[in-house]
Amino acid sequence: MNVDTMRAIDRWAGIPLCFLLTPLVRLFSPRRRDKPRRALFIELSEMGSAILADPAMRKLRDQGGAELHFVIFRKNRPSLTLLGTVPEENIFTLRDDGLLPLAIDTLRFLLWCRRRRIDTVIDLELFSRFTALLTGLSGAANRIGFYRFHNEGLYRGEMLTHRVAYNPHMHIARNFIALVNAALSTRPELPYSKTLIADEELELARATIHESDREAVREAIRGLAPQWQPEQPLVLINANASDLLPQRRWDGTRYARLAAMIAKARPDCLILFTGSPAEREGLQAIVDASGAPNCINFAGQIPFGLLPALYDLSLLMVSNDSGPPHFASVTGLPTYVLFGPETPALYGALGGNSTPIHAGLACSPCVSAANHRKTPCQDNVCLQQITPEQVFAALQPRLTGAAS
């Protein structure tokens, strides 16, 4: 299903279902609320959010002693493997390629929760009615999520035992920790979570990278660029963003110009355009337009699990605001990320190695929890205002400094 279809179903079917099922959830749910022992996190649609939620999950595991579980759309499952915080056997996936598969998997999920004796559910989604229903029907005694309170239009039932006020002025990773703090709270609050979240709590774990993985990446690169030597620096460009928010895309001609500038400044480097196999044709047009002999189309050349090794071998990455900067944050690779309809203040990659680049127009950011990340904009001037020269100026110290 495409994003607009899923949003329409979530609204027109989700609202009445949340209204009708709320009394049943409140009537039949367990009354006893113990310390979390078997906790389930729900985050379905954003791969990068699995990285942003990792500090919160580790806090619940390390400080709360909870066994972690996770439910996510099947296509996004690989994002959970980068850090391995949630055991593989504790991950449940839902198919989103049709209503029938989704309905079947939802029923399986509800049975799975009961077999696993899930006692705590933490809904990481902002205001999805579908995940509210999964939370309410899970059978868990502790049901934690963001609640609308006096906000208009964000109704999703009354199924939560711990209602947390979403803070739109605070990074989403801090909001996720606020949910965990509510789960660990020893007294009722309204709203949860009246806690201070220290900067140290946002520290990311690092991915474990084996030398065999690095060598597998080197072999994949040599397969397309036999002349490449390991001492030559790698520059990565992620030129696409997911279909979830196409307004995040920077024009391909600008990426081509940027690649040409990088190639001229560092003729000894190898520029890899990365992406999924489905992006290969579009990326080839950008590679061809760049005219750079040291620029290749690397889309679909390695499996997702080898991305940390690729990032570990690379000098820097330029990317749209999408999953790859978050994946790279577990390796320490310097990233230069183009923001438009969203803001790095809320969704920037963790780890301190990411440089956001954005125009700061009056209309930006134009997506938020209040509009379910749906914008009417069809002309992303916020990204058009960012020039290849501006991006090159930001990364040049790292690019040319490594050569000195």
**How does pLDDT run across 133-162, given as a tens digit for each residue?**
999 999 999 999 999 999 888 899 999 999
Could you give the CA distance from residue 302 to residue 129 in angstroms, rounded to a whole number?
Answer: 36
Report the candidate in 47, 46, 25 with the shortest Cα–Cα distance to residue 134. 25
CB of 90 within 8 A of CB of 69? yes
- Owner of token pair 């036999």: 226
Q: What is the pLDDT of residue 403?
A: 57
pLDDT in tens, the chain (404 residues): 777 788 888 888 999 999 999 999 988 888 777 789 999 999 998 888 899 999 999 999 999 999 999 999 999 999 999 999 999 999 999 999 899 999 999 999 999 999 999 999 999 998 899 999 999 999 999 999 999 999 888 899 999 999 999 999 999 999 999 999 999 998 989 999 999 999 999 999 999 999 999 999 999 999 999 999 999 999 999 997 556 677 888 999 999 999 999 999 999 999 999 999 989 999 999 999 999 999 999 999 999 999 999 999 999 999 999 899 999 999 999 999 999 988 999 999 998 899 999 998 999 998 887 787 778 888 899 999 999 999 999 999 999 986 54
Q: What is the pLDDT of residue 29?
A: 83
The edge-to-edge listing of strands for the beta sheet with 316-320 is: 295-297, 270-274, 234-238, 316-320, 335-338, 354-357
Extract the tokens encoding 273.
């355009």
What pTM does this model have? 0.93
Q: What is the pLDDT of residue 207?
A: 93
Could you give the CA distance from residue 138 to residue 351 in angstroms, rounded to a whole number?
Answer: 34
Q: Is 354 helix (H, G, I), strand (E, B) or coil?
A: strand
CB of 83 within 8 A of CB of 330? yes
Q: What is the pLDDT of residue 247?
A: 82
Give residue-wise pLDDT tens across range 124-140. 998 899 999 999 999 99
205: Cα within 13 Å, side-chain hemisphere: 20
Q: Torsions phi, psi of 290, nearest 5? A: -70, -30
Could you give the CA distance from residue 62 to residue 355 in angstroms, rounded to a whole number?
Answer: 30
Q: What is the pLDDT of residue 36?
A: 95
Cα–Cα distances in angstroms (integers) from residue 230 to residues 47, 225, 333, 335, in the given order: 30, 11, 17, 20
The domains found in the chain, sorted by start residue, are: 3-202 (3.40.50.2000), 211-401 (3.40.50.2000)
Q: What is the pLDDT of residue 132?
A: 96
Could you give the CA distance from residue 115 to residue 213 in angstroms, rounded to a whole number?
Answer: 36
CB of 143 within 8 A of CB of 162? yes
Q: What is the pLDDT of residue 244?
A: 60
